[in-house]
A and B are shown apart, each in its own frame.
Chain A
Amino acid sequence: MAALIEIERLTKRFAEFTAVDEVSFSVARGEVLGFLGPNGAGKSTTMRMLAGFMPPTSGTARICGADVVAQPVAAKRSLGFLPEGAPTYPEMSVTGFLGFTGRIRGFRGAELDDRVAHAMQLTQLEGVRLQPIETLSKGFKRRVGLAQALLHDPPVLVLDEPTDGLDPNQKHEVRALIRRMAPEKAIVISTHILEEVGAVCTRAIIIARGRVVVDAAPSVLERQGQTLEQVFRSLTLGAPAEAA
């Protein structure tokens, strides 16, 4: 079966600066890919291109067979995306916001209510359902963004730093949630937290200066007698921290 996420020679140049340089990988159902790299390595840029937000300079990205440039709406339908920083509309209530994204995704009436309730249950937001998002703590805001990505139960999840700003208990919950969903989906998560990779990922890609430097299972990386942190440092040190 074809992979749910297929990225081929994806490249993004900003004037002279090449943020992402011929990145290729694919993710099959059941895989959780940890996307690692120092700040400015091109993680978010790659994810933005995969989500169809930023047009690539060259190369292709497909979600469930739909090209993100040629068939953007079809690709986005199969995608749950948590953008960097988990942006939300601050003046909306949690249910209002999730209802909005659900309606855009074509849900109506009782089904919409069920979807919103289920997404809030997965991310433990029921206690704050009617609060304006701007009054919530950082951890709650992040979970609202996550709930939005899970609402339509998409086959592909792309999560940019899903556990950033969460307390240890919430991190644990989100990781457990990702592990529970993993068999049914293709999931990409970017993170700075190396322990997270061992905890939830079946595979890790390390990206530095816009290029993929490692693509292997976390256990394989560690078996060579080094911790993941040592591997990460040796591969990425000296990478310039340009652009985000």
Chain B
Amino acid sequence: MLPALTVARRELSGYFATPVAYVFIVIFLVLAGALTFTLGNFFGRGQADLQPFFSFVPWLFLFLVPALTMRLWAEERRLGTIELLLTLPLPQWQAVVGKFLAAWAFCGIALALTFPLWITVNILGEPDNGVILAGYVGCLMVAGAYLALGAAVSALTKNQVVAFVLAVALCFVFAAAGSPVVTEFLTQRLPVLAEIARALSISDRFTGFTRGVVAARDLVFFASFIGFFLFVNAVVLDHRKAD
């Protein structure tokens, strides 16, 4: 077994040994459910799908994922365990990947626990379960992207509040990059940037998944996005671990 998986296993059990896991999951489920049924008009739409749910998940992750990542490296620094972890015989990138995998698996667990919604639509009607599965894959991709970004930010600063605010702000940039407000503004002034903004937009990519389309280029986008920020994380960690 790779050392990264050993790190991931320890991290994940660490979540459940502290209130972090339970608070995160409960708040996520309550908000996801409440938004889906109220603002999402789940029943009133008269359609058996999870579209309202999927439309809120990226926005919930925008706040909840940075709450998860802000402590990722800051906590190790506070406890001094960063010195222990990084003097064990494992390549540093494996520690980075291990921490990321644990957080990602954790988001996967939180998403999996929304299964009652899926059961509900299947009782009420005959939804296209392929589309729903694609939507869940999309949610996982968005979570992964935000996690990688947030983890890199948390390696950058010792202060958890700074890590949280900065991660939310940066995630928001990528979430909003494809929105009409941004792209229209840019098209009028700098058309080149508008193209780039659309290409980097996490929400645009996500929309494809919620329609049931798992496109290779979207998967490649998320994989490169995650890979890039994990790389940034490793580089930043190497420079700032002992600060």
Chain A residues with a Cβ under 8 A of chain B: 48, 51-55, 72-74, 76-77, 79, 81, 83-85, 87-92, 96, 100-101, 103-105, 132, 145, 148
Q: Are B84 and A52 in contact (CB under 8 A)?
A: no
Give chain A residues whose Cβ lies under 8 Å from the Cβ of B10.
Answer: 89, 92, 100
Q: Are A91 and B87 in contact (CB under 8 A)?
A: no
Q: How far is the CA of A166 from the CA of B92 in the complex (A)?
A: 32
What are 10 A-B pairs with beta-carbon distances under 8 A? A52-B86, A84-B80, A87-B80, A87-B81, A88-B79, A89-B10, A89-B14, A91-B14, A91-B17, A148-B84
Q: Are A53 and B87 in contact (CB under 8 A)?
A: yes
The closest CB in chain A to the CB of B10 belongs to A100
Q: How far is the CA of A64 from the CA of B198 in the complex (A)?
A: 53
Q: Are A103 and B17 in contact (CB under 8 A)?
A: no
Asked whether any CB of chain A lies closer than 8 Å to the CB of B83, the reply is: yes
Q: How far is the CA of A52 from the CA of B85 in the complex (A)?
A: 11
Give chain B residues whose Cβ lies under 8 Å from the Cβ of A77.
Answer: 89
Q: Which of B1-55 contact A (CB under 8 A)?
A: 1, 3, 6-7, 10, 13-14, 17-18
Q: Are A73 and B79 in contact (CB under 8 A)?
A: no
Q: Are A73 and B89 in contact (CB under 8 A)?
A: yes
Chain B residues with a Cβ under 8 A of chain A: 1, 3, 6-7, 10, 13-14, 17-18, 79-81, 83-84, 86-92, 238, 241-242
Which 7 A-B residue pairings sit nearest by Cβ, starting from the closest?
Answer: A87-B80, A91-B17, A76-B89, A54-B242, A83-B83, A77-B89, A51-B87
Task: Give B133 Cβ to nearest chain A Cβ, in Å.
Answer: 34
Q: How far is the CA of A92 from the CA of B6 in the complex (A)?
A: 14
Apart from the given pairs A52-B87, A79-B87, A88-B79, 9 other A-B contacts in the complex at a CB distance below 8 Å? A51-B87, A53-B242, A76-B89, A84-B83, A89-B79, A101-B84, A103-B1, A105-B89, A145-B84
Q: Are A81 and B242 in contact (CB under 8 A)?
A: no
Give chain B residues whose Cβ lies under 8 Å from the Cβ of A52.
Answer: 86-87
Q: Are A104 and B88 in contact (CB under 8 A)?
A: yes
Q: Are A83 and B80 in contact (CB under 8 A)?
A: yes
Q: How far is the CA of A88 from the CA of B76 in the complex (A)?
A: 10
